[in-house]
Amino acid sequence: MKSRTGVLLGRLMRNIMRSPDTIITVAITPIMMMLLFVYVFGGAIDSGMDNYVNYLLPGILLITIASGVAYTSLRLFNDVKSGLMARFITMPIKRSSVLWAHVLTSLVSNLLTVVIVILVALLMGFRSSATILDWLVVAGIIVLFTLALTWLAVIPGLTAKSMEGATAYSYPLIFLPFISSAFVPTDSMPTIVRVFAENQPVTSIVNAIRALLYGGAVGNDIWTALAWCVGIMVIAYFFASKRFKSQVG
């Protein structure tokens, strides 16, 4: 399975490298958003940090990933509609390799985009007091979050009837960070909005990453963040695999 998955992964990555605008396009929106919020709105937002980009970056990274996984749906949808998926499953390879190739491609491409966004943030003044261990934990959370959203992306990629339908699911995911602690502290929000913001996945993930990057108290946020990521990933994997099996027979 590993060798076959590697071959299929190589095919998808070569397609991305031939058209690097995929990664660049995914990076442009969060970068422009980061520039807008830091240099236009940052002075009016009391984040409790001297440099607003430090406060903002964790949420921007999640938006980057939410934007990037839409391409997983699109690539999978194209393989299904073009008949390429049907050809792959007739070959002497483990059928799950086809899905895992798409998932791993999403992971690699999204991590590359995240690195680009972090480099731009460094140019904007982002600084972190995190240790190597802290950075490894942050990377682990980002990987889990990417895998969770990617397995969610597999479902519309297999079931959508149109290209627009395959990618439309990502819009609510991109919107979620705006109703969280990603841009402003939840204390400033009206009660109803604050209750939602404090109990949705993005807030705990953002808070955990922020605490790790800047030496804050992680508390229960790390466990809540991991629970959300693993829970979403397991549920999405179950339904994606079930749909794939019923589709290929």
> Going residue by residue through the chain (249 aa), what tens digit of pLDDT does each one get?
445 666 666 666 676 666 666 667 778 889 999 999 999 887 777 777 778 999 999 999 999 999 888 888 888 888 778 776 667 666 656 767 778 888 888 898 899 899 999 999 999 999 998 999 999 999 999 999 999 999 999 998 888 888 777 778 778 888 899 999 999 999 889 999 999 999 999 999 999 999 999 987 788 999 999 999 999 999 999 999 888 887 665
**Nearest-angstrom CA–CA distance, 16 and 60:** 22
Q: Which backbone phi and psi does 226 adopt, to 5 degrees? A: -65, -40
Query: Quick check: helix, strand or coil at residue 58?
Result: helix
Rounded to whole angstroms, the Cα distance separating 124 from 58 reads 14
DSSP letter at 182 equals T
CA distance 243 to 232: 16
pLDDT at 223: 95
CA–CA separation, 65 vs 150, rounded Å?
9
Q: Model pTM?
A: 0.88
Distance of alpha carbon 199 from alpha carbon 91, whole angstroms: 45
